[in-house]
Structure 1
């Protein structure tokens, strides 16, 4: 009975690693890079709504976005896996930072707005 315990732990560890790899690969393929915010992920299903090069602003229509619930967990995870760190949040406005670059993202019903800015 004691010999089976290390096998179970090893099996759970391998299953966990496989899940993480599949999860990262699947969701990594469904995100694109923002237009004006270098390296900031944008959901692949999001459709460009408006773009302003002067203000470094881009907005997208995207069904999973909401004002009440904010950004979906899988999107927040992909932002984090891309190296962006959440530094501030005021209501639906979340500020992320990476390598001296700040990005503000606003989540409304079926809409996300991304504002890229140099620090």
Structure 2
């Protein structure tokens, strides 16, 4: 009987302390998880913000030409030859035989849809107008209105 009188309060106190420790441990784990998640969220916010700022400002390196139905052309291109159906440009920033992804993004942002790929030529279309871009390693870019 005396043993029960001593152990019951002791066990009750032990249970209360155990529950408080579990709450503390869970709170600490949730705080640690929150800190880890906060760091990941901060990194995601930074990358999304940088991507959004880049997307908004990428048009600054391009100009739209009225004679090419508002097709975007890089500011750094040099017009080398012009005819009634074509404009031949040299673009030093272009490398290899593909169009840089930033230029493709600007073309898409301006409403042009890629409709055909033929070798080094890519055809874009918007409102019934077609523009063909041909890129080669020795001659950087040829843009024709079809």
Per the shorter chain, which TM-score range? 0.7 to 0.9
Question: Which one has the bigger strand percentage?
Answer: 1
Q: Would you say how many aligned residue pairs link Structure 1 and Structure 2?
A: 114
Larger RCO (CA under 8 A, 6+ residues apart): 1
Q: How far has the Cα of 1:5 moved from its partner?
A: 4.2
Q: 3-state SS of the aligned residue for 1:2?
A: helix
Gaps of 5+ in 1: none
Calculate the aligned-residue CA RMSD, in Å.
2.1
Aligned partners of 2:97 and 2:120 also within 8 Å: no
Match of 1:77 in 2: 105
Match of 1:46 in 2: 77
Question: Which one has the bigger helix percentage?
Answer: 2
The two structures have a TM-score, normalised by structure 2, of: 0.66
Give every structure 1 segment of 4 or more consecutive aligned residues whose post-TM-superposition deviation is greater than 6 Å: none
Match of 1:65 in 2: 94
Gaps of 5+ in 2: 1-31
Match of 1:30 in 2: 61
> Who wins on radius of gyration, i.e. which is larger?
2
Once the two structures are overlaid, the 10-residue window that deviates more, 81-90 or 31-40, is 31-40
